Copies of this chain bind each other. A is one copy, B any other.
Amino acid sequence: MDHVVGIQYTSSYSPTKRITFPEGDFNGLPAHVWPKNASRDESGVVSIAGVSLPELAQEFGTPLFVVDEDDFRSRCRDLARAYRGPERVHYASKAFLTREIARWVAQEGLSLDVASYGELRVAQAAEFPAERITAHGNNKSAQYLQACVSAGVEHVVLDSFQEIASLGAEAERQGKVQPVLVRVTPGVDAHTHEFIATSHEDQKFGFSLASGAAKQAAEQAFHHPWLDLRGLHCHVGSQVFDAEGFSLAAKRLMRLQNTLQEELDTRLPILDLGGGYGIAYTEKDTPLDVQAVAEDLIRRVQIEADRLGLEAPTIMVEPGRAIAGPSTVTIYEVGTIKDVNVTDELTRRYIAVDGGMSDNIRPALYQAEYDARVVSRLCEGELCDSRVVGSHCESGDILIADQRYPDDIRPGDLLALAATGAYCFAMASRYNMFTRPAVVSVKDGKARLMVRRETIEDFLAMEG
């Protein structure tokens, strides 16, 4: 935190100015979707942590990612408290990683998940403590495994028999015993709360519990002289909203853990239940209650441990989206507005903004929904059927497919989408030679440039 760039807004920092609107009002900022420090003043201008979004757009241009640092950190703390120890909570880098983000995570005492050599490199560039890094990946490169062992990461999560051999060989080469977890596919559907019919999972990750591969992998890892088996890992889904799926998976893993402990006469202290904590993207969504889920899960694991006569393992979790997602908004400028007669009964208003699928591929890729609000003023118009589209040369470049917005949204308005902290900047492309947006963090009335805007010159400089 050595330098602050751009404008500073300390004078206008006054959270008491926040005005509230009835549920469903377009001028509202649903508290469960928007960053915790977002507020709208009487003039209609939205600020985050006391920093005016229109002023940020003016200074840094649009599209622009704005991260509420305190929101991000507060979610780290909520999870740390819920799981009774910050190091048990692993922030999943893949959601959104910069050196600054890694520093926040480090300062909050959390652990970090990386899923590639590149993510490990960024973490190292931020001097993230290696002993709190867990390394994932279905197809880890030799370079990545080498770097993991060399750095001394806390755990490498084994994902294939090949990797047991290659990681073991690398550990031996370096003369360092590498602690590992075994990734198990437990055959649990976290959304339906059912065991998957076949007890297998048709996916690239992990070792099947049902087929016996998971047990075999754990035994191999245990017996490998250069690997130190510390426990089991699983991941049951994304956007999960209750403890049921995690709990079912935990029970299945603990039974295997029990068998292994008895057969191998050892103790496996770690039970890593992965990520997948759901967040609210739209007003109608209810986010996962971190505290309630954690309590429920810890209690159920204890019951299962008691039943099996085990010492309860340390639960680790790996949320990414639940920390980064709600902290961030994307500011766009409204450009072309066009009414299209879809049928004799339906006219749809197309509201085009100056970004799109290059900075947020999730609506096109996952049919993800978002909450959008004008942040530069109050809107007063009648609601009309609307679609928010980007500026890419592709008709599927849609950010919000079907919503009712005031009919007085006009060119030049600033429209922001909330909950864009996870998998938006991280997956950004330069499709249509759009330059990737800048990222700015805000805190206590100050703005800080986290990543500068990409330029065409950046691309041209890479050409041979």
Contact = CB atoms under 8 A, between A and B. Distances in A.
Interface residues of A, number: 86
A203 B336 contact: no
A202 B365 CA distance: 20
Nearest to A198: B343
A350 interface: yes
Interface in A351-410: 352-354, 361, 364-365, 387, 389-395, 397
Copies in the complex: 2
Contacts of A344: 198
A452 B462 contact: yes
Instruction: Identify the interface centre among A97, A119, A391: most chain B CB within 10 Å of its CB.
Output: A391
B118 A464 contact: no
A407 to B, nearest CB: 16
Contacts of A160: 336, 338
Contacts of A3: 464
A450 interface: yes
A428 B431 CA distance: 8
Given A119-B433, A336-B162, A94 B460 contact: no
A46 to B, nearest CB: 22
Contacts of A121: 433, 456
Given A118-B434, A163-B336, A452-B464, A343 B200 contact: yes
Given A343-B198, A429-B427, A98 B395 contact: no
B141 A456 contact: no
A200 B340 contact: yes
B463 A137 contact: no
A459 B125 CA distance: 11
B115 A432 contact: yes
B115 A392 contact: yes
Given A121-B456, A434-B118, A452-B464, A391 B340 contact: no
Contacts of A116: 391-393, 432-434
Given A5-B464, A160-B336, A336-B159, A94 B431 contact: yes
B434 A139 contact: no
Interface string A138-166: 11110000000000000000011011000
A416 B198 CA distance: 33
Interface stretch (A31-39, A204-212, A223-231): A204-212
A252 interface: no
A337 interface: yes
A208 B341 CA distance: 9
Interface in A27-66: none
Interface in A191-244: 198, 200-205, 208, 211
A352 B125 CA distance: 28
A411 interface: yes
Interface of A: 3, 5, 92-94, 97-100, 115-119, 121-122, 125, 136-141, 159-160, 162-163, 198, 200-205, 208, 211, 335-338, 340-344, 348, 350, 352-354, 361, 364-365, 387, 389-395, 397, 411, 426-435, 448-452, 454, 456, 458-460, 462-464
